Structure 1
Amino acid sequence: MKKLSWFNKLVFFLNMVVTVLTFVAYVLPFLAPKVFPILSVFTLLLPLMLVLNFLFFIYWLLQFKKQMLLSGIVLLLGITFINKFYKFSQENVPQTQEDFTLMSYNVRMFNLYRWVPDINAKDSIKQFVGKQDPDILCFQEYAPSDDVYFNHYKYKYIFSRNDRYKTGQAIFSKFPIVDKGSIKFPKSSNNVIYADLKKGNDTIRVYSMHMQSIKIAPDIHEKIDEEKSKRIFKRLSEAFAKQQLQAELLVAHKQQCNYPTIICGDLNNSAFSYVYRSIKGDMNDAFEEVGSGFGKSYNFKYYPARIDYIFSDNNFQTKSFNTFNGFVNSDHFPIMARLAITTKEDK
């Protein structure tokens, strides 16, 4: 430390601060938001912490300084977090006729209030879905419309709230729906719906979740002053505490199901959160299995936010996963996975 220049001493001090904050963020997925509501907000910054540690590591490495070990060790200890943040391309898994595809998409009421400039957003979404033609289609923030219909799906379950536009969720399926229902969340307009689908001799349960919204606009133009920052921070911490209760209700419901299970939808939280960890449990995250890049699913400017997920239990093999982040007709991007039901011989 004595041999460092004054500038490098300053850099190393900042490096240590970032290291401490990163370790705090590593622990937060194991701490309930209801107990630490303010700290839980910090999980949103973990990707930034990882990037800063990488930059510090490179900075010291180029100077052949032993201080590079500090961030190097932090990155090694957080390798599982890095995999949730960025994935290198995976080899393609052979496809078969028994595979099926599932798409999850928060359509934001088909751009009812003109959030995106494309006045033909509804038609674009309909055409996009028709082109991708998933076997199972899960919509969040779905609003029935005479202009948007999906008649090529024989089976459907639409859950609508009693608001002006009957917003809610929908599951469309090429497989027969043998049972369906919803999980109501207390003091919230969000919910989970599910459908049991008959695929051949197998019955699959699909949950579509829309967890408590955090209500942060994708592109904030107004100045963020101290007072507004406090309000945003408070709103986030309250939303994450609500999400914890909602996650507990979903997990408890899932534990009563004996069918192979898929959970998909809008979690409204990062892959570094307590809520993500609770819902995922021992299920597989399709992005982590076969995804690539950042997996950005929310159109937040300058930040690769991944808040939409497809989880499947060990009865499935995930063969491919795509985030269509070039298709901007909502504040979310569609995500789709190709899956196969595994047999006992496959396991």
Structure 2
Amino acid sequence: MRRSFAFTCTLLIIGWLLVAIACVQVPAYTFWPAAFGALTLPVALGLNLLAVPYWLLRNWRVAALPLLVAVLTWPHFQRGVALHPLRVAPAAKEDGLRVRVLSANVRIFNVYPQLRNAGLASSRSMIQWVAESPAEIICLQEFYNEPRTSTGKEKDVFNSFERIGARSGRQGFLSRTLTNSIGAEFGMAIFSRYPILRRGTVKFGKLSQNHAMWVDLRLPNADTIRVFNFHLQSMSLDEKDIVDSYSSKAGFRSKGLGLLRRFKRGMVARSWQVDTLTRRFERSPYPLLLCADLNDLPYSYSYDQLADDFQNAWATVGNGVGPTYNGKLPFVRIDNQFAGPEWQVDDFWVHYEIPYSDHYPTTATYHLPAKTK
């Protein structure tokens, strides 16, 4: 009876796993409950893996079933927990070109009063670190700049566009979403040591911090590439509210339902935003590199749509979860870089030594092989 019950549980786990994978394919704007089903996928993957050694000890014939399912669903497992323990650093290549890309949500360089510290130390350090980065391409979300024409008293600190751009030998493109009363600019930015040939912005309705921008860059070997920098709809979830929602029944009643509603709205918005972008990606005549604050987990529709056609840099070469959220919620990877099939991902790392924002910066190195004549 125990074996019969265990076998039934194994079949239920496999069924759950398949349903969760199907849910990942469904955009929340067509059927939002599927998005919550997709979030259970890592649990189903883990339980299926646990079923393999269980049945190996009892009946190897039955173990073949969860083992086969594990093999077939391994790419989904790799999205959340990358495993490349035997990987070695790639050798230097004589052909093609290597490009380093830095992506970071800089949280407006902590300009707001509640984010500041003594002497604006974190703001100064963050801007200096980005400006001194060896990366040839830099993509920044939640960017803030006080130009020389600003009337702000701290523009010597927050003159970030010039410091990261021209002073550091880079061209820059600032996609402004707001200019305030002192002339300070909010938005997103791309900086490049390669010439910027063309540029543009993709709006998701009214232009806000959640939008996309792109540039076409001319590489030293005369190739042209297109780089997208985008910031999908924010989760709008407060850490304290999340803790309160599961700490007690009263907390769930007061906070939980509100969190679920906000989470639902965010998932619906991100699903149509990523669909808007994937149509733009399909029209690109050049190899693509994508930098994004997805505000979504690897087991989501928005991540899935990107991972279907692009290489996720962390999933390709990383080890472990690779969390990028700098907060109390553990194991959350919402910042990602993706590369088109023309690229080879050489390295990817998360800068845990840079704690100035609520997002850790990421850097990747890509290799674009020389074209065969």
Q: TM-score, normalised to structure 1's length?
A: 0.86
CA distance in 1, matches of 2:314, 2:24: 19
Q: Identify which of 169, 173, 181 aligns with 1:157.
A: 173
Q: What pairs with 1:84-95 in structure 2 (closer than 5 Å)?
A: 84-87=79-82, 88-89=84-85, 90-95=87-92
Q: Aligned pair 1:107/2:128, yes or no? A: no
Q: What pairs with 1:52-63 in structure 2 (closer than 5 Å)?
A: 52-55=47-50, 60=54
Q: Which residue of 1 aligns with 2:22?
A: 27
Q: Structure 1 residues 70, 131: closer, same or farther in 2, change over 3 A?
A: farther
Say if 1:25 and 1:42, in contact at 8 Å, map to a contact too. yes
Q: Structure 1 residues 166, 73: closer, same or farther in 2, change over 3 A?
A: same
Q: Aligned pair 1:291/2:286, yes or no? A: no
Q: Identify which of 184, 195, 211 aligns with 2:203.
A: 184
Say if 1:41 and 1:233, in contact at 8 Å, map to a contact too. no
Say if 1:115 and 1:330, in contact at 8 Å, map to a contact too. no
Output one character per residue of 1:295-342: Cα deviation in whole Å (capped at 9) or x when no partner.
Answer: 212235353122222111122221111122343221211111111222
CA distance in 2, matches of 1:328, 1:45: 30
- The alignment partner of 2:17 has SS state of helix
Q: Aligned pair 1:37/2:36, yes or no? A: no
Q: Which has the higher helix share?
A: 2
Q: What pairs with 1:111-150 in structure 2 (closer than 5 Å)?
A: 111-113=110-112, 114-115=114-115, 120-145=121-146, 146=155, 147=157, 148=160, 149-150=163-164
CA distance in 2, matches of 1:24, 1:311: 26
Deviation at 1:34, TM superposition (A): 1.3
- The alignment partner of 1:167 has SS state of strand
Say if 1:104 and 1:335, in contact at 8 Å, map to a contact too. yes
Q: TM-score, normalised to structure 2's length?
A: 0.80
Q: Structure 1 residues 310, 2: closer, same or farther in 2, change over 3 A?
A: closer
Root-mean-square deviation (CA, aligned residues, Å) is 2.9
Say if 1:95 and 1:319, in contact at 8 Å, map to a contact too. no
Matched to 2:216, the amino acid is: D
The alignment-based identity, stated in percent, is: 26
Deviation at 1:64, TM superposition (A): 4.1
Q: Which residue of 2 aligns with 1:205?
A: 226
Q: What pairs with 1:60-79 in structure 2 (closer than 5 Å)?
A: 60=54, 64=58, 72=67, 74-79=69-74
Aligned length: 340
Q: Structure 1 residues 112, 16: closer, same or farther in 2, change over 3 A?
A: farther
Q: Unpaired segments of 5 or more residues in structure 2?
A: 147-154, 246-251
CA distance in 2, matches of 1:68, 1:242: 41
CA distance in 1, matches of 2:263, 2:207: 15
Output one character per residue of 1:281-307: Cα deviation in whole Å (capped at 9) or x when no partner.
Answer: 422211122222212122353531222
CA distance in 2, matches of 1:166, 1:126: 15
Say if 1:41 and 1:236, in contact at 8 Å, map to a contact too. no
Q: Structure 1 residues 50, 233: closer, same or farther in 2, change over 3 A?
A: same
Matched to 1:101, the amino acid is: R
- The alignment partner of 1:207 has SS state of strand
Say if 2:56 and 2:63, in contact at 8 Å, map to a contact too. no
Say if 2:351 and 2:362, in contact at 8 Å, map to a contact too. yes
Q: Aligned pair 1:215/2:236, yes or no? A: yes
